[in-house]
Amino acid sequence: MAEESSYCYFFEDEYSESEDDEGILSFEKIPRHICRIIKENAHDPQTIEDMSESEEEDENLPPTKVIIRHLPPEMTGKIFFQLVSPLPAHDYKYFVEASKEHNQNMYATAYINFANNEDAALFLKQYDGHIFQYGKGAKCKAIVEFAPFAKIPKGPSSKDRICGSIDDDPDYLEFLESLKRKNAEASKDDEVESAASKAFDPLVHYINTQRTECSARGIYKRPPKYYRKWQPRY
């Protein structure tokens, strides 16, 4: 919201001379992304003021989010929310376990956003300074206060409309077709090479035929491994 309003103010300050007699703004020298924002709000001059007022109203609302610090390092979220249950109406809760990698004196932290300020103030009054015991008699005094950052994380965004649509994407289908053509051409080249390697040679055919016939008659025998070594000398 703030970014759109900043664009609008930039346009009014920089190009105020481009208005005609009827008060219609000219967009000839404005970048496209700025023109789009101005055109949407051109017929509603109170839009910027309404947005700023709504933001101010959100900031002026009483705080409903509390942060609980200095919780025992061995505590888990399941145990903590069991100890503080039943909780009043709330729409967000989050627990951060203590990290034992850097320092052994780290503590756990919890966040809760209540439905109204009264429940948040009551929880703060009830558990601020509450002592949690853990381990071999060790104690932790909880610190509860309103969270400096009052907003809560947004839920998962809606599913992307193009998610799972790759089978219908024209560029992807064209790529598959080109891949098929390349594979077909490669297979044809392999067939041509194999056919060329199996070309008929009369001399080789004659030698193979003679060898086969001699082997069938028992004339052709492969010499033993050490035939020449034991051959008699004259």
- Tens-digit pLDDT profile for residues 29-83: 444 444 434 344 444 444 444 444 555 555 677 888 999 998 988 888 888 888 8
**pLDDT-above-90 percentage for the chain:** 9
pLDDT of residue 67: 92
| Cβ neighbour number for residue 112 with a 10 Å cutoff | 24
Q: Angle, nearest 10°, between helix axes 2-14 and 47-60?
A: 140
Question: Looking at residue 58, what is its pLDDT?
Answer: 57
Residue for token digits 């919890």?
110
Residues 6+ positions from 62 with CB-CB distance below 8 Å: 117
> Measured between alpha carbons, how far apart are the two ends of the chain, in Å?
111
When the pLDDT of each residue in the chain is averaged and rounded to a whole number, the result is 71
Strands (E), the chain: 65-71, 90-96, 108-114, 131-134, 138-141, 143-146
Please name which of 147, 149, 67 lies closest in space to residue 107, comparing C-alpha atoms.
67
Question: How many other CB atoms sit within 10 Å of the CB of residue 11?
Answer: 20
Number of Cβ atoms within 10 Å of the Cβ of 156? 6
Separation of alpha carbons 130 and 140, rounded Å? 8
- When pLDDT is cut at 50, 70 and 90, the band that residue 150 belongs to is confident
Region 10-31 average pLDDT: 42
pLDDT at 56: 54
pLDDT at position 111 over 90 = yes
Dihedral over alpha carbons 184, 190, 192, 194 (to 10 degrees): -150
The C-alpha atoms of residue 81 and residue 88 are separated, in whole angstroms, by: 12
| Sequence-separated (6 or more) residues with CB below 8 Å from residue 144 | 66, 67, 68, 69, 123, 124, 127, 128, 129, 130
pTM above 0.75, yes or no: no
pLDDT at 55: 52
The larger pLDDT score, comparing residue 56 to residue 131, is at 131
Contacts of 104 (CB under 8 A, 6+ apart): 73
What is the helix (H) or strand (E) element at residue 123, kind and residue range?
helix 117-127
Q: Which of 43-57, 82-96, 137-151, 160-174 comes out lowest in average pLDDT?
A: 43-57
Question: If pLDDT is split at 50, 70 and 90, which confidence band does 95 have?
Answer: very high
pLDDT for 189 = 72
pLDDT, tens digit, for every residue of 186-207? 887 777 677 666 666 778 778 8
